[in-house]
Every structure is written in C-alpha cells, then in structure tokens.
C-alpha cells in the first residue's frame, strides 16, 4: 500500500495572497471609476412630463456666441419680450426668429451651454417640457465636437432662446440627456 502523502499545514505567514489581489484591485478601481456626481442615480423627473404636467415649448432663436461669462451651463427666465431683447442687446447678440415670424410677447427661457474653447458645441431643447406649481422643467441635449474635428480656436458659447406658454414661472430647471440637472434658476443672481 502506497504511503499517504501528508500535506504540511501552512502557517499564516505562508498563506498565498494571490486570490485576494484581484478582488482588492477590483474594489479599489470601482470606487475610482466614476466621478462622485456620477455615482448616485439621477433624480427621477418622469412625472414632470406625464400628461398632467407636460407643456409644449418652442425654440425661438439660437446663437453660437452668446457671451456666457463662465464655463457652466446657465438657464435664465425672461418674463416678457422686452426683457429678452434687453438681454440680447446687453450681450451684443442680434437674434433672428427661427420660424421667420415676430417673437411672441413671452415668457422666455434662455439656455446657455457655457463658454467653450472652440466651435462645434450645440444645444437642442426638447419641445416637451413639464410644469408644476410654477416650476418649469426643460430637457435639452448638449452636443460636443468630435475631438480633432474642429480646429478653430475661436471661443464659442452657444445658447437657445425658448418661447414658453403664457404663465407665471418662479423657477426653471434644465436637465440634460443623462437626466442630471445641468442648470437651475434657483439661487441664480
């Protein structure tokens, strides 16, 4: 009968760490994989766009250079046509109606991408918006150029002027294509 092979017990000092290394590495990388603002789920605004709260808005004008002072996206509420025209004159923008008709009396929301180092950026505001208790929720898609496709070093700051249904709005929030709030009039100067 062949002798039984005895296995010598390993001391804690000799315990191999190899199976734990991939697990430890995976845990460390998962914590660093996304920035903090992406780790939490975006807020649920779905009920803002249901049949009870949905409204239709319309892009009235757009410009590629709107003089946005910083790099953050901004949304502003203009209560009437003279306010919107004063804003555009202050920024040095000659707005032309997208549909060729005169601008409505208002109100308006002005959606600004923020200052960018070159051209190729853009915004498209959805016609479907939501309104609840005087608050307005706009949805927009933000476009960025494909790296290397735009060589112009001219600073751009795209904006869209959105005509809103007649109502009193106290706050406007803008959510982007990922569902995150990109800009909010609350706390704005």
Place of tokens 């460390």: 28
Q: What is the mean pLDDT of residues 61-89?
A: 94
Q: What is the pTM of this model?
A: 0.72
Q: Which two tokens mark 189?
A: 């100067």
Q: Of 108, 107, 87, 114, nearest to 182 (Cα)? A: 114
Q: For 102-128, what is the mean pLDDT?
A: 93
Q: Which residues pair with 142 in a beta bridge?
A: 123
pLDDT (mean) for 130-148: 90
69-82 mean pLDDT = 94
Q: Is the pLDDT confidence value at 177 over 60?
A: yes
At 40, list the tokens.
Answer: 């939490």
Q: Who has greater pLDDT, 160 or 1?
A: 160
Q: Is the preceding peptide bond at 107 cis, omega within 30 degrees of 0?
A: yes
Which is more confidently placed, 186 or 51? Answer: 186
């Amino acid at each position: 009968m062949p002798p039984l092979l005895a296995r010598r017990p390993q001391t804690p000092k000799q315990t191999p760490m190899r199976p734990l290394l991939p697990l430890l590495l995976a845990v460390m990388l998962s914590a660093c994989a996304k920035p903090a603002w992406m780790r939490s789920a975006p807020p649920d605004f779905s009920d803002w766009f249901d049949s009870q709260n949905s409204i239709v808005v319309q892009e009235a004008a757009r410009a590629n250079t709107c003089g946005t002072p910083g790099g953050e996206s901004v949304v502003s509420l203009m209560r009437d046509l003279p306010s919107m025209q004063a804003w555009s004159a202050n920024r040095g923008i000659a707005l032309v109606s997208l549909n060729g008709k005169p601008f409505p009396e208002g109100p308006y929301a002005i959606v600004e991408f923020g200052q960018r180092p070159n051209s190729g950026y853009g915004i498209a505001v959805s016609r479907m918006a939501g309104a609840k208790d005087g608050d307005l929720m706009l949805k927009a898609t933000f476009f960025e150029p494909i790296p290397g496709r735009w060589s112009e070093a001219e600073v751009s700051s795209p904006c869209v002027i959105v005509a809103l249904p007649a109502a009193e709005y106290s706050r406007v929030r803008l959510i982007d294509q990922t569902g995150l709030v990109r800009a909010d009039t609350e706390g704005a100067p």
